[in-house]
Amino acid sequence: MTNTKLYKPYLIMSLLFISRNLWAIKQPSWEAVGNKAFSSGYSSQTKIAISPDGTPYVAFLSYVNGNDRVSVMKYSGSKWEDVGYPGINNGTARDLNLVISGDNTPYIAFEDTSVGYYRASVMKFNGVFWEYVGSPGFSNGEASKIHLAISSQGVPYVSYSDYNNKSSLIVKKFNLINWVTVGNPDISGGHVDFNNLSIDSNNIPYVAYSYSLATNYEDNKTHVKYFDGCNWESIGRNFTYRKAYNIELQISQNGSPYVAYTSSNRSQFITYFNGKDWIELNDIPFDTIQPISLAIKNNIPYIAFQNFNDNGKGMVIYYDYNQWVILGGEAVSIAAADYINMAFSSNRIAYVVYKDYYNKNKVTVMAYDNSEGR
């Protein structure tokens, strides 16, 4: 991937003078999308998604009417504006997700205290107001680490750890009437600490999760499974020999599952399935402050993270010819970037959102024009 273009010297001749100039076009840099710190107050759990029509959306938690509630905003081309009203949900929210469907409809998923103790809820914006998708709080009890994905057919799926069933992993989808369980309601067969969910181009759902055997909660194993229409089938072996935190799962354009995760000593790792086995990419030379964000564009993995080695500044790296390269050659932020999250537009512009420590913990979005990269 080339970030700097160097144009050869050229000779300009005229009747008045002859000059020779070496022209160098400066590499693209990270630029703010609209104003920095555009939220009205402090933020947390910042998420970003780009709609098919290229509109950036962000979701975040902020303190509204006495609770940490969800707010969603979009960039209109000149400014950030609310989608609906701030503080969409009643009560306190946790583990926020944001996804835009193929018809440009924004969806959010979160754990909801307005209908019980942190039960799973999904909402969508109908163009006028936010409405629940199915029943609010549709999990049987507490849901933990909820994740949302939407198929190309517009079907929402969620995965979460089901406290009422030994904290095992469960996946549900919305069938236009109710949320129904996809396959076995106990996918993991044990306590799940972290999970993630992704859907490939053939609308096949995949899950990645780390689970602890019932007799030893420190012996974490990591699995990836896909749903074959009847059962959840494992992909390769469980591939980690270290405890995995903050799992991220993405399916590349060529159909390969990629899993990124962090370890207890702030290291981060990424592995992919080559059709026969799980292959771990070269060590990432930066420690991270959790969590991380994984994106795949043109079959190249990108990771956004807080760089522990640089005071928690935001950074994006990508894997190029067996080495990790810093996108843009520098940090994304000038100070700590909490809850950093990443997404690509269809024209390969990279976007990151984060809780901006330098600007009173408000929301900031930065973009990098990668349209001429690999």
pLDDT of residue 211: 79
Query: Model confidence over 273-319: pLDDT tens digits?
Result: 999 999 999 999 999 987 899 999 999 999 999 999 999 999 999 99
Strand-pairing partners, residue 124, are: 107, 131
| pLDDT tens figures, 210-220 | 976 645 555 56
Q: What is the pLDDT of residue 9?
A: 37
Please write the tens of the pLDDT for every residue from 337-364.
999 999 999 999 999 999 999 999 999 9
Mean of the pLDDT values across residues 159-176? Answer: 96
Q: Quote the percentage of the chain above a pLDDT of 90.
A: 80
**What pLDDT is attached to residue 23?**
27
What pLDDT, in 10s, does the model give residues 241-268? Answer: 778 899 999 999 999 999 999 987 789 9
Query: What is the phi/psi pair of residue 357, to 5°?
Result: -60, -35
Tracing tokens 């396959």 back to the chain, one arrives at 183
- At 216 the pLDDT is 54
Residue 355: name the closest of 301, 326, 313, 311 by CA.
313
What are the pLDDT digits (tens) for 85-130? 999 999 999 999 999 999 999 999 999 999 999 999 999 999 999 9
Q: Is 98:110 a contact under the CB 8 Å cutoff?
A: no
Question: What pLDDT, on the 0 to 100 scale, is given for residue 5?
Answer: 36
- pTM equals 0.90
The DSSP 8-state label assigned to residue 328 in this structure reads G
Cβ–Cβ under 8 Å, residues 132 and 126: no
Please report which confidence band the pLDDT of residue 370 belongs to, taking 50, 70 and 90 as the band edges: confident
Both tokens of 359, joined, read: 């600007």
Q: Please report, for the chain, the start and end positions of each structural domain, with discontinuous segments joined by +.
A: 32-369
pLDDT score for 220 = 67
Contact by Cβ (8 Å): 249, 197:
yes
Digit-coded pLDDT (tens) for 140-154:
999 999 999 999 999
CATH superfamily, with its number, for domain 32-369: Kelch-type beta propeller (2.120.10.80)
What is the dihedral sign for C-alpha 359, 363, 369, 374? positive
Give yes or no for a contact between 27 and 328, defined as CB atoms under 8 angstroms apart: yes
Mean pLDDT, rounded, of the chain: 89
Say yes or no to pLDDT of 18 above 60: no
Query: Which residues, including other chains, have CB under 8 Å from residue 229's CB and lie 6 or more apart?
Result: none
